[in-house]
Structure 1
Amino acid sequence: MKKSWKKIVGTLLTVALVGSLTACGGKKNDNGVTNAENSATSDVVTIGISDTIGSLNPLLMDGTEVVKYATSFEFLPLVELNKNMEFEGQIASEITTKDNKTFTIKIDPNAVWSDKEPITSKDVLFSFLCWASPEIGSTGMSIYNIEGTGDDGFVEAGSDSISGVVAVDDKTVQITTKTEMALSTFQNIYGRYILIIPEHILGDVPKDQMLSNEWFNAPTVVSGPYIVKDFDLNHYVTYEANENYFKGAPKIKNLSIKVVTPSQLLTGLQSGEIDLVQQTMGNILQEDFESVKKLDNITVYDGTPVTTQSIFFNTEKVTNVKVRQAFLYGMDRNIILQEFLKGKGEIVDGFLASAGPFFDPSIVPVAYDKDKAVQLLEEAKAEGWDPSTEYNFYVNSGDTTFTQVASYLAAQFAEIGLKIKVNTVDLSTLMTVAGSGDFDLLAVQYSYIPVDIFTDANWLLSAGGWTRYQNDEVTKALMDTQVTVDTDKIRESYRIVDSVVQTEVPMINAYVISGLGAKSNRLQNATPDVYGTFLNVQDWEIK
């Protein structure tokens, strides 16, 4: 079991951000205004986001929330999480298992493509085969743990099936995994992040041409509520309603995603150019919270506190554990929480935030201790650490709150003798750096899904994950979570994981964010939250 899970699990933030969809110029109307710029008109609802969209190709799904949601407006996953962190059917009506190895997927009997063709087992088999085909070369999503694939997650070139993915009938698929997997993990990885594509449209396309196929630039057949009309991935995507959406034709006929800087979210909400900001796609600045709350035309929503500002070490470069511990002790996280986040969040060590069912309050976060940090560095120096070392620290330019925090941290670290070079890059570049391992420290907002911590923890704390860190005790504890449904036993396993993380410090959670969502009062039936915001997008209405 240990060997099988050593590969990248989930890869929910993989480096495959470069796609066959390239940014293109926006179509302009008679007034020379792009569709996105004209989105404030009464019949268009605009979602404001603060990161560019890496791709809209379902086979290049990288797991970042902005890509996931922008793409799944067209191509649905099997299931999705709702605001109560329960898995809710999308293309699947249910996913079940009796032994945590064989999983049965029941496809919604009403599910159809936009051309009214039924969505069947063939589509599910085809979608999984695409991920497993070496000719396509997609990585991640734990395909390697499905029976019939190699350790690299691929089948033999030219294969037309995966032995572990079979159709029972037109509306039932069985998937068999190599190792035991909790139902919540299966649903989170395969259910949420593999978007189903139409076999009857794409089945004859040679696999080695799939990623470059122009069809993905303007799909004519979709399963989701909307179809892309126009896009410039650095600036906007515009959609029109899929009138044959099997969950009901969307009441709002025109939807738009608009890419802006975080500082522009406030002005966009105020002017009416932006109708909705969802907590994981749009980063409303902490300093703008009160101003947004005071807007007469806007209703605000506090997000579930599960998104962490995580700092990952490349432990192959920052090898001395005492140096990593010095970073942790030398970081005044309470000052950061109070001054930069105005107290809107919490401090934890490890993966578990208080909103999750497995949270263990016995893991007390390490307190700021400058003297302890200096002592640790002296001990590290005696062991051969070079105090002249400068560490490259990469942060997301789209997260302006943390770019300020990073500057503050650099000054704090300098006081204890740690030299930091802060490199501010866009999200796409950040993910490329993360995948290449060409960093010492890297910070990114990361939502550890409370009902499935395993997926991210097992990947991140592995030789193939960002940290390049592996620990047998952690691996065993994580695998133990996959063979029980006993909450207390799962909590105990995660307590072991978080305790080791706190001691070995392959990562640090700077803080847990309670992000702010916002909605225009003209938009009805929409509630921005970390999970479930778009499940009922077809029922949104303009007042």
Structure 2
Amino acid sequence: MRKKHYGKLLFLLMLAFLFFVLAACSDEDAGAEVEGKDDAEKGESAQDEVFSIDDFEQIKTNQGEAIEGGTLNFGLVSDTAFEGTLNFNFYSGNPDAQVISWFDESLLDVDENYAYTNDGAATLDVDREAKTITFKIRDNVNWHDGEPVTAEDWQFAYEVIGHPDYDGIRYGSDFTIIKGMEAYHNGKADTISGIEVIDEKTMKITYDTFTPSLLSSGIWSYAMPKHIFKDIPVADMSSSPEVREHPIGMGPFKVDSIVPGESVTFVKNEDYWRGEPNLDGVTLKVINPNVVVQALENGEVDLVDSFPTDQYPENADMSNVEFVGDVDLAYTYIGFKLGKWDADAGEVVPDPDAKMADVDLRRAMWHAVDNDAVGKKFYNGLRWNASTLIPPSHPDYHDDSIEAPTYDPDKANQLLDDAGYEDVNGDGIREDKDGNELVINFASMSGGDTAEPLAQYYIQAWEAVGLKVELLDGRLQEFNTFYDRVEADDPEIDIYQGAWSVGYDVNPAGLYGRDAAFNYTRYASEENDALLQEGVSEKAFDEAYRQDVYSKWQELMVEEIPVFPTVYRAVIIPVNNRVQNYAVDFKEGVGIYRYQLAVTQEEAVTAE
């Protein structure tokens, strides 16, 4: 994959942090034809042309002269409302993250290798020998209400996430390595001994274990305004008006008004620490994937968070936008429910008797599907067959030499035969090993035109090897319901289709660790524990050693298959011709920040 380097990397959008961030398996996660069927079954819009992410630039071309002020219209592509948990400490879904990113941001910047720099709102001084990091917030960094962002605000964010009553999903291994955190989390201490406020703008953290992940997004870099939240019980914070209705941050734009789940109006933060934003404001609104093209053509929105790649071929020549793109920090996957989450213990509990516990059954289901065809036929090459759980967005760690299962229905049938899944009554459908009916309940998410065809393709592909797979409740699930049920380990779910946006740090423990709430499959093993621990060990500060550890981990996941990746993804963004200073994820060293976005005229350019 092409990677352009433009010098120092200055990220505008710090959405991916120490954990992998939950992302919608959206309208794009859609279907592929069953092998041998006519292309017409995909619909009249199907095209044969195959594209590549190499066809796209990462930076939009500036046209004309920017005007003073103006308002930009941003489309959040979704078939459902955003949840509205508008605080970095509490949100769980990518739609909410898209909203938050306009008004709040990380205190720390990262470079082109996802390592922290001293170019952000705060600097850091690392002492590996002492296992400490000292942070200093710049003097001109303020909250939107004018109060300074302080070291106590940053400390407060840690105290909230570590609190026994915290109901979010942030708490995990990147917090437990802080000295005194577990005692605080377990209610045995009133403070976190390893976090020290030195002065108004300076904070020091001492770690029990100092890991390579700490230097690449392993630090919780989001402050929380203590003067606003200090009197709210932690258990009530996520549902409070301060999170849902009147959120504030330290970013380039301020929340002016919210229509819950539908839209947010932002105005510029004249006191933004980098400088006054060029735009007067931003209007964010939810755009259904079925009408995103019309919204772009008529100028209703200037750009969107992501464009459905299945719609790109028919709209590649849209006259009023420029398409930019990059390899997405994401992958789509099929997950198998293998246990439960023990909230009291804070860890997964595998169930050896789970319906999907047989790895040969899981391997056969991987062999039964043709993800290469999915990428080429339905995404025109803008998604492509995935092999491991570290995507090519991290080229130094993605191991493409690992031989993962590929489409081979004969192999799938042989695996099932050998494992004892036989068609007892001759109806073409296999029973379980005891000769009882085997029905596998499949949760998949609603979305655009191709969400249903994709789910049906997988169901048909599995049926072709004798497995009866049925949609949960006989239908697709909308975004919030889907993740609520998956997270709650709904016993009706046996397998599910999801997607992850990955963090800057390659460490996968936030998704697949024994203590990771995001480990929705509830898979755990001693070998997995050991490799994940080794990946953040002292030895792993040696990059070659860490690469080897994560290569072994990728291979283990191919052997154990708690999930299997289906496709890697391109992110394609159409940007109206009037917009200046835009880059995909504002990364790869472009040196452009969100406050520098500008427009060349008051109204969006419409399509000819």
Is 1:263–1:285's contact at 8 Å kept on the other side of the alignment? no
1:521 corresponds to: 577
**Match of residue 70 from structure 2:** 43
Distance, in Å, in 1 between the alignment partners of 2:467 and 2:591 is 44
* Map 1:300-449 → 2, pairs under 5 A: 300-316=323-339, 317=354, 318-356=356-394, 357-381=396-420, 384=433, 388-398=437-447, 400-423=449-472, 424-438=476-490, 439-449=493-503
Q: Which stretch has the larger CA shift, 339-348 or 455-464?
A: 455-464
Return the alpha-carbon distance in structure 1 between the equivalents of residues 523 and 240 of structure 2.
Answer: 38
Judging changes above 3 Å, is the alpha-carbon distance between structure 1 residues 398 and 146 closer, same or farther for their aligned structure 2 residues? farther
Q: Does 1:471 align with 2:502?
A: no
- Match among 64, 74, 78 for residue 107 of structure 2: 78
Secondary structure of 2:182's aligned partner: coil
Compared CA separation, residues 342 and 209, structure 1 to 2 (3 A): closer
Using the alignment, how far apart are the partners of 1:493 and 1:63 within structure 2?
A: 29
Shift of 1:14: 10
| Cα distance change of structure 1 residues 469 and 455 upon mapping to structure 2, 3 Å threshold | closer
The Cα offsets for residues 397-439 of structure 1, whole Å up to 9 and x where unpaired, read as: 1365444222111111001011112241122112212211222
Match of 1:270 in 2: 297
Compared CA separation, residues 468 and 211, structure 1 to 2 (3 A)? closer
Deviations 1:88-132 (A, max 9, x none): 654323363414943332323331223433222111111211222
User: Aligned partners of 1:238 and 1:163: how far apart in 2?
Assistant: 40
110 and 542 in structure 1: CA distance in 2 versus 1, 3 angstrom threshold:
same
Structure 2: gaps of 5 or more residues: 1-17, 25-68, 340-353, 422-431, 601-608
| Cross-structure match for 2:272 | 245
Give the match for residue 20 of structure 1.
none
Please give the alpha-carbon distance, in whole angstroms, between the structure 1 residues aligned to 2:578 and 2:564: 41
Q: Say whether 1:148 aligns with 2:184.
A: no
Q: Which amino acid aligns with 2:496?
A: L
Shift of 1:330: 0.7
Q: CA deviation at 1:363?
A: 0.8
CA separation of 1:444 and 1:220: change in aligned 2, threshold 3 A: closer
Alignment correspondent of 2:542 = 486
Whole-Å Cα distance in 2 between the matches of residues 94 and 212 of structure 1? Answer: 33
Structure 1 position 69 matched with structure 2 position 98: yes
* Equivalent position amino acid for 1:430 in 2: F
Provide, for residues 270-326 of structure 1, a one-character-per-residue CA deviation record: whole Å limited to 9, x for no partner: 111111123xxx3x2233213332112101112224311111111233111111011
> 1:48 deviation in Å?
1.2
TM-score by length of 1: 0.83
CA distance in 2, matches of 1:62, 1:209: 14
CA distance in 2, matches of 1:322, 1:47: 46
Name the SS of the counterpart of 1:378 in structure 2: helix
For residue 220 of structure 2, give the secondary structure of its aligned residue in structure 1.
helix
| 2:193 partner amino acid | S
Aligned counterpart, 2:152:
122
Measure, in 2, the Cα distance between the counterparts of 1:14 and 1:272. 27
Structure 2 counterparts to residues 189-228 of structure 1, below 5 A: 190-191=220-221, 195-219=222-246, 222-228=249-255
The residue number in structure 1 matching 2:510 is 456
Separation in structure 1 between the aligned mates of residue 247 and residue 401 of structure 2, nearest angstrom: 53
Check whether the contact 1:136–1:207 (CA below 8 A) recurs between aligned residues: yes
- Give 1:254 shift: 1.8
- Structure 1 segments of 4+ aligned residues over 6 angstroms from their partners: 460-464, 532-535
Tell me how far apart the structure 1 counterparts of residues 86 and 22 of structure 2 sit (CA, whole Å). Answer: 15
How many pairs are equivalent?
Answer: 500
Q: TM-score if structure 2 supplies the norm length?
A: 0.75
Hey, what's the Cα distance between the residues in 2 that align with 1:217 and 1:503? 43
* Residues 268 and 274, structure 1, Cα contact 8 Å, conserved in 2: yes
Deviation at 1:386, TM superposition (A): 5.2
The answer as to 2:198 corresponding to 1:168 is yes
Q: Letter of the aligned partner of 2:385 in structure 1?
A: I
How far did 1:395 drift? 1.8
- Report the counterpart of residue 46 of structure 2 in structure 1: none
Structure 1 pair 155–59 and aligned structure 2 pair: CA distance change class (3 A): farther
Identical positions, percent: 22
Give the aligned CA root-mean-square deviation in angstroms.
3.1
Conservation of the 8 A alpha-carbon contact between 2:439 and 2:468? yes
> Which amino acid in 2 is paired with 1:526?
Y
Partner AA of 2:223 in structure 1: I
Contact 1:302 1:515 in 2 (8 A): yes
- Retained in 2: the 8 A contact 1:454–1:478? yes
**1:225–1:537: 8 Å Cα contact kept in structure 2?**
yes
Question: How far did residue 338 of structure 1 move?
Answer: 1.2
In the other structure, the counterpart of 1:26 is none
Structure 1 Cα separation of the partners of residues 413 and 269 of structure 2: 61
- Which blocks of at least 5 consecutive residues in structure 1 are unaligned? 1-8, 16-41
Whether the aligned pair in 2 keeps the contact of 1:125 and 1:167 (CA below 8 Å) is yes
Structure 2: distance between partners of 1:451 and 1:518: 28
The one-letter amino acid paired with 2:596 is D
Mark the CA change 1:96 to 1:425 in structure 2 (over 3 Å): closer, same or farther. farther
Work out the CA distance in 2 between the residues paired with 1:460 and 1:155.
18
CA shift digits 1:166-211 (9 cap, x unpaired): 11332221223343432456624513xxx32222333344445534
* Kept after mapping to 2: 8 A contact 1:387/1:418: no
Q: Is the 8 A contact 2:73 2:283 kept in 1?
A: yes
Cα distance between partner residues in 1 of 2:515 and 2:378:
29
Hey, what does 2:563 align to over in structure 1? 507
Residues 217 and 463 (structure 1), Cα distance of their counterparts in 2 relative to 1, 3 Å cut: closer
CA contact (8 A) 1:113 1:221 kept: yes
The 3-state SS of whatever aligns with 1:227 is: strand
Q: Deviations for 1:211-267, whole angstroms, at most 9, x for unmatched residues?
A: 444333454853111221222343211111112111212221121211122222211
State the distance in 1 between where 2:558 and 2:438 align. 23
CA contact (8 A) 2:255 2:264 kept: yes
Counterpart in the other structure of 2:126: 96
Code of the aligned partner of 2:467: L
Q: How many angstroms apart in 2 are the aligned matches of 1:386 and 1:435?
A: 31
Match of 1:33 in 2: none
The 3-state SS of whatever aligns with 1:309 is: strand
Amino acid aligned to 1:443: Q
Helix, strand or coil at the partner of 1:467 = coil
> How has the CA–CA distance of structure 1 residues 98 and 144 changed in structure 2, closer, same or farther, with 3 Å as cutoff?
closer
2:255 aligned counterpart, secondary structure = strand
Residue in structure 1 matching 2:283, options 256, 263, 267: 256
Q: Is the 8 A contact 2:161 2:168 kept in 1?
A: yes
CA change 1:163–1:84 in 2 (3 A) is closer
- Contact preservation (8 Å) 1:394, 1:422: yes
What is the distance in 2 between the residues matched to 1:498 and 1:320?
Answer: 19
CA distance in 1, matches of 2:577, 2:138: 33
Q: Distance in 2 between matches of 1:268 and 1:323?
A: 44
- What is the match of residue 55 of structure 2? none
> What amino acid is the match of 1:13?
L
Deviates more, 1:447-456 or 1:246-255: 447-456
